[in-house]
């Protein structure tokens, strides 16, 4: 009997979390963390191939969430490899105590569990609970260092995230109310597959208000401006593996929730079109982040703003909808996850060796640490959307579909892209080239995750395997 991949994806992380909470030795727990994430990845890779069980009241698998689960598990796995070497360094320098590391590892797996549960949920209530779980787990990790800044970041994330989540729940209740007359009372009115089938009969005005709450609630977690205030702090002050996972995964999970509700609204012809709202917020985030990038001096904070920028582009693309817009959105999201986490892998090791996140005190890293330095440069070249990397292709797709829709929109989009390109290149040249600043000691870095991600992004820019293209095109059509 072959194991069921869905239960594999869902059971491995919580079991690993319990195990990690019980293991005191940090070396062993780092290995367990990697192995558990690896097993979860194997199960996730089986998902597209395996027979799908029918949609239940709680869980289901379809073409859309498979994309998210595979991406999530992959980045979760590479982040766990990076985390192992990162944590070892933190222990050696005494920034973290073994007890904190034990806690950190358990929370890491708990967070992966929350995200996988949110992605496989076929129930708007269960999804909400899962997103809350993932948020709580990340909050506690963000405050791990117990410095003023870390505590402030965790508190801010806590309060803003909780308010966002509360608003999302209110929206969820309203969706239930809208669904109840046509679907009937009870569990059925919270099940995605049933909701989508009956969406055309829902009360449109109730659905509209619900979507506003959901957009604000889950949008807070996506990091859309003006709801982004928690994001730069949480990225800058938490351990770097978590910055990578936040940018690469958690933002995507919140986005996934938004997309599901968007499908619901598109299914109802009398409801407002969710597209323009999403496009507006997306463009606002892009422009806002592009301008904010120029003033950054903290390297992790800078890349956090770049995440806001990219989530803005992704939400904009999904807002445009249509097969091309959705395809571009999916591509952009995937490329951003891979590239941004690669950047954070490089940045994590660099800040460890330089003992600062302050960019004016870091310089010439391509000279002092060639592999890391050039890895960072490659990552930045990729993230700003220069060829030959995959982000170039996906941004090109977003711009061209915007152009087909409205040249003014495309103009604003281009402006945001160019501004952030300028800002990031400007800052990174100072960090990467020029005279060596800061300690130049040897570094024990995990290069595999960094270069595996970069290689994937480079490959995607040159040649995308046809099955992936076909899969994405299919998903893009189902997104409507």
Partner 1 sequence: MHGISFDIAHMLAGFLVLASFSMLYQVRLYALLNVLALHAFVLALSVAWQAHIQDAPHLYITALIALGFKAILIPWALRKIVFRLGIHREIEAVGGIGPTMLAGMALVALSLEVMLPVTALADPVAREDIALALSVVLIGLLTMVTRRNAVSQVVGFLSLENGIILAAAGARGMPLVVEISVAFSVLVACIVVGIFLFRIRERFDSVDVGVMDTFRGGQG
Site for partner 1, rule CB under 8 A: 123, 125-126, 128-129, 132-133, 136, 139-140, 143, 148-149, 151-152, 154-155, 158-159, 162-163, 165-167, 169-170, 173-174, 176-177, 180-181, 185-187, 189-190, 203, 205-206, 208-209, 233, 236, 296-298, 301, 357-358
17 and 120 in contact (C-beta within 8 Å)?
no
Tally: H helices and E strands in the chain: 20, 0
User: At its nearest, how many Å lie between partner 1 and the CB of residue 381?
Assistant: 24
Before 4, cis peptide (omega within 30)?
Answer: no
User: At its nearest, how many Å lie between partner 1 and the CB of residue 233?
Assistant: 7
Smaller CB separation from partner 1, 208 or 266 = 208
Smaller CB separation from partner 1, 152 or 406 = 152
User: At its nearest, how many Å lie between partner 1 and the CB of residue 217?
Assistant: 11
In this structure, how many other beta carbons lie within 10 angstroms of the beta carbon of residue 373? 19
User: At its nearest, how many Å lie between partner 1 and the CB of residue 189?
Assistant: 8
User: At its nearest, how many Å lie between partner 1 and the CB of residue 379?
Assistant: 20
User: At its nearest, how many Å lie between partner 1 and the CB of residue 395?
Assistant: 27
Q: How far is Cα 406 from Cα 277, in angstroms, rounded to an integer? A: 16
Smaller CB separation from partner 1, 163 or 412 = 163
Smaller CB separation from partner 1, 328 or 424 = 424
Smaller CB separation from partner 1, 298 or 395 = 298
Closest CA relative to residue 420, chosen from 284, 306, 317, 299: 306
User: At its nearest, how many Å lie between partner 1 and the CB of residue 440?
Assistant: 23
User: At its nearest, how many Å lie between partner 1 and the CB of residue 359?
Assistant: 8
Give the Å distances, CA to CA, from 282 to 63, 290, 292, 321, 420: 25, 12, 15, 13, 15
203 and 181 in contact (C-beta within 8 Å)?
yes
In this structure, how many other beta carbons lie within 10 angstroms of the beta carbon of residue 299? 24
Closest CA relative to residue 119, chosen from 51, 179, 197, 40: 40
Handedness of CA 352, 357, 363, 365 (dihedral sign): positive
Closest CA relative to residue 22, chosen from 140, 106, 134: 106
282 and 316 in contact (C-beta within 8 Å)?
yes
User: At its nearest, how many Å lie between partner 1 and the CB of residue 457?
Assistant: 28
Handedness of CA 304, 308, 313, 318 (dihedral sign): positive
Alpha helices in 121-147 (DSSP H): 124-142
Closest CA relative to residue 381, chosen from 336, 337, 425: 425
Smaller CB separation from partner 1, 202 or 451 = 202
Smaller CB separation from partner 1, 254 or 450 = 254
Which own/partner contact pairs does 356-360 have at CB distance under 8 Å and 24+ positions apart? 356/438, 357/236, 357/298, 357/299, 357/300, 357/301, 358/297, 358/298, 358/299, 359/296, 359/297, 359/298, 359/299, 359/302, 359/427, 359/430, 359/431, 360/297, 360/430
Smaller CB separation from partner 1, 18 or 166 = 166
User: Which DSSP string corresponds to 177-232?
Assistant: HHHHHHH-SSGGGGBHHHHHHHGGGS-HHHHHHHHHHHHHHHHHHHT-TTS-THHH
User: At its nearest, how many Å lie between partner 1 and the CB of residue 114?
Assistant: 11
Smaller CB separation from partner 1, 217 or 267 = 217
User: At its nearest, how many Å lie between partner 1 and the CB of residue 306?
Assistant: 15
Smaller CB separation from partner 1, 262 or 427 = 427
Alpha helices in 268-406 (DSSP H): 274-293, 299-320, 322-354, 365-368, 370-383, 390-405
User: At its nearest, how many Å lie between partner 1 and the CB of residue 408?
Assistant: 31
Smaller CB separation from partner 1, 90 or 203 = 203
Smaller CB separation from partner 1, 301 or 310 = 301
């Amino acid at each position: 009997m072959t194991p069921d991949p869905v239960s594999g994806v869902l059971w491995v992380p919580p079991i690993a979390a319990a195990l990690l909470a019980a293991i005191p030795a940090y070396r062993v727990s780092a290995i367990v963390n990697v192995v558990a994430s690896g097993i979860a990845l194997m199960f996730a890779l089986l998902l597209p191939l395996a027979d799908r069980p029918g949609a239940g009241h709680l869980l289901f698998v379809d073409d859309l969430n498979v994309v998210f689960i595979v991406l999530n598990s992959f980045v979760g796995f590479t982040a766990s490899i990076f985390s192992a070497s990162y944590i070892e360094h933190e222990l050696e320098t005494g920034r973290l105590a073994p007890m904190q590391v034990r806690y950190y590892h358990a929370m890491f797996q708990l967070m992966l569990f929350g995200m996988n549960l949110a992605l496989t949920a076929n129930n708007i209530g269960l999804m909400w609970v899962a997103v809350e779980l993932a948020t709580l787990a990340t909050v506690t990790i963000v405050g791990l260092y117990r410095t003023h800044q870390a505590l402030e970041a965790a508190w801010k994330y806590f309060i803003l995230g909780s308010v966002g989540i509360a608003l999302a729940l209110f929206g969820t209740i309203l969706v239930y109310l809208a669904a109840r007359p046509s679907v009937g009372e009870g569990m059925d009115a919270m099940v995605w597959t049933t909701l989508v089938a009956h969406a055309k009969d829902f009360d449109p005005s109730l659905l509209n208000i619900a979507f506003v709450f959901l957009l604000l609630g889950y949008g807070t977690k996506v990091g859309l401006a003006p709801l982004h205030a928690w994001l730069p702090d949480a990225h800058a002050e938490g351990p770097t593996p978590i910055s990578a996972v936040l940018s690469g995964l958690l933002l995507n999970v919140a986005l996934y929730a938004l997309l599901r509700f968007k499908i619901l609204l598109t299914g109802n012809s009398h409801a407002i079109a969710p597209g323009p709202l999403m496009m507006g917020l997306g463009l606002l985030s892009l422009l806002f982040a592009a301008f904010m990038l120029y003033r950054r001096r903290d390297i992790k904070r800078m890349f956090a703003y770049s995440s806001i920028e990219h989530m803005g582009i992704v939400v904009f693309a999904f807002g445009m909808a249509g097969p091309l817009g959705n395809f571009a959105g999916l591509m952009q999201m995937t490329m951003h996850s891979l590239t941004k986490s690669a950047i954070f892998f490089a940045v994590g090791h660099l800040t460890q060796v330089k003992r600062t996140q302050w960019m004016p005190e870091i310089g010439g890293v391509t000279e002092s640490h060639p592999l890391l330095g050039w890895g960072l440069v490659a990552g930045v070249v990729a993230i700003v959307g220069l060829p030959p990397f995959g982000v170039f292709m996906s941004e090109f797709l977003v711009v061209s579909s915007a152009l087909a829709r409205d040249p003014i929109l495309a103009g604003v989009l281009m402006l945001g892209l160019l501004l952030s390109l300028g800002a990031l290149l400007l800052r990174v040249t100072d960090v990467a080239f020029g005279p060596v600043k800061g300690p130049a000691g040897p570094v024990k870095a995990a290069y595999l995750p960094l270069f595996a991600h970069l290689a994937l992004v480079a490959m995607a820019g040159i040649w995308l395997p046809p099955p992936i293209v076909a899969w994405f095109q299919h998903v893009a059509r189902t997104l409507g």
